[in-house]
Structure 1
């Protein structure tokens, strides 16, 4: 019988877009090995197989040759049609809705924070349930990890390692909520990626073939510190310049320093210290035209005018606060310190010294 299938010619290589390229479909009979090439025109759509598809199936490969300066041959699409044709649908759910690539496809990238859970879903169909051949009965699922360079968050030249593996039959599977399994010193310091690789086992002259490979990036939990101030410190004069160090700020975040009068109380909305607000990602920069960062950020900010925010004597709390996609973008505290301002001590001391030094004072 003849069979109609859908093949995609466009959106593989920008060198091919807008050009008339030589393209063809190669049909390989998986039983006999017979090959039949057919010219293919247009930018995609329905293709009618000229050769009968047998019970073992056929492998269809869409090729195109570049034009002008580009004479390379590109493999644009591959489909296996036959009785045994495993298909998978995958998804990764995170509190962060960020995605690179097509989330409806088989290769895309999601992200989360090291201390937050995510869920991996996979639906498998097209396997032969009663077959004793593993290549027909199962697909392989391998979970790989890779730690990023802690200095630049890059995966370049980093070694991939196996976390776990299993075989899956026809059915729907949900794994989660999961926490990352990277080989980081602590859960919160996880910095890397986990890849979910689904493989069709070799059969009918077709080698092991990756049919889905989504991944999720894991970014470390942010932290902050402030120099030149200690808990409980009393300032009797101007508060010195402080240096705030931000580490691993999430690529979708708003972070700032705030101050309020009184002892620390989680959830208090204080006064934001001018010049300390940092915004990353499209959510917090809706008018930004340049591409947003997609890796964490680490930097320092100086605070030179804190005395202007503590003009009255009393107890004050300084906090570093961040907002991210997690916990509904509510404020999370990265750092806090409580200190005291008591300028009266200086004036009292001056008055007392003057009185003691005056002659004739009783």
Structure 2
């Protein structure tokens, strides 16, 4: 963007234009230091809202249920800033296992209800969907969870230095923390494999040079690592830096997703005594968005340049500003003073 700077005749120091000019360059160059070192001091509104896609959460209670039970479903959604809520419709899909029977009901953007049909015979997956009704028409799978007998529970929570509540996010040079909680695992050797351990998977995916995460085919994410969890409890891990692919690590933009899946195995329909296969099912996941480090430049003036009573037009080029942040330039008399609080 281009920001014209007032001439010295409009400066608060009207009787000292030469002294103001002497220090103007140093003060403006100090602005660059502020932009690059203080993530809280960053940008005009970003080119695209963050997140630029709808997000949501879906939970089922209880998560360990017997045949014939209807669990309670609780869900909420967040749409991109500036979105007309009437442009989206929502529904919950229930998929019975192992029969494959599918039932779905329309819902509001948030709420609570019993599952459409009872769990039968062993467990079910619930999916929260939204459909954007305006052009281009698109559907989004916002969240999903699985409940059933002999089914462990799991929760993934990601936090960073950014308190933004809609979706975890941080800068490419900053750490983030992953908390994983697992309950309901049992050690009975006769129990199905799915009830004795779960798998933690870590996927990474780059957005590209200017991407915002929408549109994005998340089935193309790269599996970075996976590990088995065999004990109940909570583990906290600090991830010092992201692992999203890219040569310039300061300019990484993309996302990492941490997911918990059950183990594949077999179970028995106690009504008939017939065993049936159990594939691996998703229990919980969360993603963290990674945004590049900002950089900036000032043109129209050079270090040591002597100015008269008229200051030339200065152009401030600001790149990769952090979402939802604010950036400003400071012009003042004297030597550079990083962190100085001014007025607008």
- Shorter-chain TM-score tier: 0.5 to 0.7
Using the alignment, how far apart are the partners of 1:157 and 1:47 within structure 2?
Answer: 31
Shift of 1:173: 1.0
- Alignment of structure 1 residues 272-311 onto 2, 5 Å: 272=344
Q: Within 2, Cα distance between the matches of 1:208 and 1:94?
A: 30
SS in 2 for 1:185: coil
Classify the secondary structure of the residue corresponding to 1:259: coil
Distance 1:240 1:16 in 2: 54
Distance in 1, matches of 2:207 and 2:146, equals 34
3-state SS of paired residue (1:232)? coil
In 2 relative to 1, CA 77–213 (structure 1 residues): closer, same or farther, beyond 3 Å? closer
Partner of residue 148 from structure 2, selected from 81, 89, 101: 81
Q: 1:234 aligns with which of 302, 306, 329?
A: 306
Establish whether residue 45 from structure 1 lines up as the match of residue 114 from structure 2. Answer: yes
Judge conservation of contact 1:123–1:172 (CA < 8 Å) in 2.
Answer: yes
Which runs of 5 or more residues in structure 1 are unaligned? 18-22, 64-74, 101-108, 273-362
Distance in 1 of aligned mates of 2:337 and 2:103:
72
**Which has the bigger relative contact order, CA under 8 A and spacing at least 6?**
2
- So what's the TM-score if we normalise by structure 1? 0.54
- Name the structure with the higher strand share: 1
Q: Does residue 139 of structure 1 match 2:198? A: yes
RMSD: 4.1
* TM norm structure 2: 0.56
SS in 1 for 2:330: strand
Aligned partner (choices 208, 211, 218) of residue 149 of structure 1: 208
Deviation at 1:89?
Answer: 1.6
1:104-152 alpha-carbon deviations (Å, 9 max, x no partner)? xxxxx31112222211101011222354975443211111111112124
Instruction: Answer with 1 or 2: which has the greater Rg.
Output: 1
Determine whether 1:59 maps to 2:123: yes
Deviations 1:51-95 (A, max 9, x none): 7x7xxxx124679xxxxxxxxxxx99864422x212102211122
SS in 1 for 2:320: strand
Quote the residue 1:357 is aligned against.
none
Pick aligned residue for 1:126 from 166, 180, 184: 184
Q: In 1, are the aligned partners of 2:250 and 2:292 still within 8 Å (CA)? A: yes
Superposition pairs of residues 95-134 of structure 1, within 5 angstroms: 95-100=161-166, 109-129=167-187, 131=189
State whether structure 2 residue 226 is matched by structure 1 residue 160.
Answer: no
- Deviations, residues 327-361 of structure 1 (Å, cap 9, x unaligned): xxxxxxxxxxxxxxxxxxxxxxxxxxxxxxxxxxx
After superposition, the Cα gap between the structure-2 partners of 1:250 and 1:24, relative to the gap in structure 1 and judged at 3 Å, is closer
Question: What is the CA–CA distance in structure 2 between the aligned matches of 1:90 and 1:16, rounded to whole Å?
Answer: 24
Change (3 A) 1:10 1:91: closer
Match of 1:6 in 2: 71
User: 1 CA distance for matches of 2:299 and 2:104?
Assistant: 70
The CA distance in 2 between the partners of 1:219 and 1:142, in whole Å, is 22
Cα distance in 1, alignment partners of residues 297 and 103 from structure 2? 66
1:94 to 153, 156, 160: 160
Look up the match of 1:244: 316
Q: After TM superposition, give the deviation of residue 10 of structure 1 in Å.
A: 8.2
Alpha-carbon distance in structure 1 between the residues aligned to 2:325 and 2:93: 48
The verdict on how the C-alpha distance between 1:256 and 1:209 changes in structure 2, with shifts beyond 3 A counting, is same
Structure 2 unaligned blocks of 5 or more: 1-65, 78-86, 128-140, 267-276
Cα distance in structure 1, aligned partners of 2:212 and 2:199: 29
1:245-298 CA distance string (max 9 Å, x none): 1111111211111112222232223455xxxxxxxxxxxxxxxxxxxxxxxxxx
For residue 225 of structure 1, report the CA deviation from its aligned partner: 0.6
